[in-house]
Every structure is written in structure tokens, then in C-alpha cells.
Amino acid sequence: MSTGNGDAVRVTLRDFQERKERREKLVVVTAYDSLFGKLVDESGVDAVLVGDSVGNLLAGYDTTLPVTLDQMVYHARATRAGVKRALLIVDMPFLTYQVSPQRALLNCGRVMAEGGADAVKLEGASDSVLAAVRAVTGAGIPVMGHLGFTPQSVNTLGGTRVQARDDIGARKIVEDAKKLEAAGAFSIVLELVPAKVAANVTKAVRIPTIGIGAGAQCSGQVLVLHDLLGLNDGFNPKFLKRYASMAAEVRDAVSRFAEDVRDGNYPDDDHSF
């Protein structure tokens, strides 16, 4: 649904909570710049996530670990320029919030002040992360949690794989979700979690859950824009449904441009001054 964003009402944290209570699904999509931010915002999503997946997609990193705070502030500010209606959530990169609550507060504050974020996202539910969530939310900065497969812990988790497959893991993720809620998180991303486990988490907390590879019972869903558009066509996880095949269209368009240039067909009289 295309809504336009010129005079649309901004999405708020209260909207997130009320939509879970009304059992209305939330829609979250990533963006990393003003143009895609604008297009996604105008498509009627509830939130735009400036993910640290920017490192994989735009910088060519193998993991999200090398992404810096400066990079996230830059991409947040660029995306903010295009997003006028949806909630803008920004990932906090590796080691910007785990070291101490004070460091977390300063870094999250920078993302809000310089990046123009409406909220930040922190991965995990360790004691240090929970302390960071409490400090940051205590200062009035909204925090989205992230459980299941947490990309910043990829080395500890032994690669990209489904989490909470056994009873111990399933119980722990429910407990961690409750801890994040108690610490002040307004929502939780559940990534690569069995559908039944994600459903149990969603029932166990009052705040919305946003799934990615976590089944249909979450309060909403998130996908990476480049994945759903088929731009990142080498990425083929089970959970991904592509809604376009833009990588092929890009290759074809650039190839036709190159052919026109080499054949002397571009620019022609219609495209010259």
C-alpha cells in the first residue's frame, strides 16, 4: 500500500504497543540512505530499521562486527532525511553498548542526537546488555531488543544458525525476553527461532515481537530491503520471500547502457543539448 508521507501521522511507540494489543501485524523494513528510506516510508511500513547489516550489504564485510558507530550515525542521518512517517530505529554496533552503561548511554545518545533516530536496537540479554537497556531507557531513549540469532555474536554461536531448538534454549529465550521487557525494551526482534518458540515468546511478553525467520505468530515481521527486492540475489535463506528480482534488472539495464554507448547510440539527439 502506497500512502505518501507528506501529511501522514508519525508512527509512535504507543502505536507499536496498541497494534500488538489489537493483533494488527507490524511491518519493519531496513534502509540505509535517503532515497530508499523515502521509498520504504512511502510504502506504508510501520518502522524503518537502519541495520548494521549495512556492513554486509554496502561495505562488503563478512559479518557486522567491523561496523563502526560513525558509520551507523552517517547512515542513520541519511535515512532520516527520507523517512518522515515511520518509526526510525537504528542498530547499535558491536562494543558500543556492552562495555558499560555509561558508554552505552553516550553512544546511544549520539545516534539519537546526530543520527536522528527515534529508537535504538541492542542485541542480546546478558547482564551487561540488560544494564545498558536500563540505563538507556532510563534516560528516555527507546530500546528495541534482539534475541535468537544475534549477528554480533556470530563467532560465539558458531555461525548463522537457528537458535533455541532444544527445551533449554527455548526456555532461556522466553526468560531473556521477559528480562528485556522488565529492563524497559519496547519491542524485541526474534531472529532464526523455531516458530513454536517465537509464538511462546510473543505470548509471554506484553511488548511486540518482530520476527525474521521466526514464524507467523510474532507481532510483526522485518526483512532486509535488498533481500526482499532481490538485489542481494546470492542470499537464499529459507525464511526469505523475494518480492522483486531487481539484481537481474540492474544487470540488464547497465548492459544495455554499455551496449548503446559502445555502438554510438547514446547519447542521441534527443539526449543532447
Residues annotated as catalytic (active site), given as ranges:
191
| Long-range contacts (CB closer than 8 Å, 24 or more residues apart) made by 99-107 | 99/128, 100/128, 101/131, 101/132, 101/134, 101/135, 101/136, 102/135, 104/131, 104/132, 104/135, 104/136, 105/132, 105/135, 105/136, 105/139, 105/141, 107/69
Cis peptide before 194 (omega within 30 of 0): no
**Residue 196, C-alpha cell as written in the block:** 513454536
Q: Is 40 helix (H, G, I), strand (E, B) or coil?
A: helix
**Placement of cell 544475534 in the chain:** 150
How far is the C-alpha of 234 from the C-alpha of 173, rounded, in Å?
30
Compute how many other C-beta atoms are within 10 angstroms of the C-beta atom of residue 264: 8
